[in-house]
Chains A and B, each alone.
Chain A
Amino acid sequence: NAGVTQTPKFQVLKTGQSMTLQCAQDMNHEYMSWYRQDPGMGLRLIHYSVGAGITDQGEVPNGYNVSRSTTEDFPLRLLSAAPSQTSVYFCASSYSGDSYNSPLHFGNGTRLTVT
């Protein structure tokens, strides 16, 4: 049982480049989300999805796009990378879109550096 799988683990981009961070879960979870983690700032929600075909913005969505064409996959796209997007990115999923008794399961993270 793989859980939540994120790829790549590490990535270095130049300013202006685009890329997609992959996230897949094999637990049939309805809810999926993306967080970024920066020193001293905890985890901040970028985008989330309550089911296939449905996405919405979190606290810090600017510069990122998402789509949810299947239950399993929730890729995060950086359209034009900026140094401010240097961070560790975590994908997280849960059984339902309700916070009760539905803890988040996190992937191992992608460490992104934008130069």
Chain B
Amino acid sequence: GQQVMQIPQYQHVQEGEDFTTYCNSSTTLSNIQWYKQRPGGHPVFLIQLVKSGEVKKQKRLTFQFGEAKKNSSLHITATQTTDVGTYFCAVPITGGGNKLTFGTGTQLKVEL
């Protein structure tokens, strides 16, 4: 089935440093979604990217979809303690519908 690799698995930063997580697929994607899960919480939808080369921003978060629609990244500028959590990418499972395969996630820890 559809698989997506997400790196790194963990990232430990000082508050104010930048952070980036990457998702890579071996196949062309129709779209990619990003979710955030706070410790002890549930995944919460952040954004969806659909177009080749698309870039979307949400305050300090920048999301990119690769030109070949096989990879994506989430970049956080000047991290804050509120950014702590695990960030997942999710892609549609081949066969249609809203079935999503989730990456293994990148756990972000932010130190003061």
Contact = CB atoms under 8 A, between A and B. Distances in A.
B88 A43 contact: yes
A97 B43 contact: no
A106 to B, nearest CB: 4
Nearest to B47: A103
Interface in A22-36: 31, 33, 35
A108 interface: yes
B110 interface: no
Contacts of B101: 45, 59
A93 B103 CA distance: 19
Interface centre among A35, A45, A59, A103 (most CB of B within 10 A): A103
A94 interface: yes
A31 to B, nearest CB: 5
A50 interface: yes
A97 B42 contact: no
Contacts of B98: 31, 33, 48, 94, 96-99, 102, 104
B42 A45 contact: no
Interface residues of A, number: 30
A75 interface: no
A45 B105 contact: no
A65 B92 CA distance: 23
Contacts of A48: 97-99
B42 A104 contact: no
Interface in A47-82: 48, 50, 58-59
A45 B98 CA distance: 11
A10 interface: no
A42 B102 contact: yes
B45 A105 contact: yes
Contact of A90 (B42, B48, B90): B42
Contacts of A102: 98
Given A42-B105, A98-B98, 14 more contacts: A31-B98, A33-B98, A35-B102, A42-B102, A42-B103, A43-B88, A43-B102, A97-B98, A99-B98, A102-B98, A104-B43, A104-B98, A107-B42, A108-B41
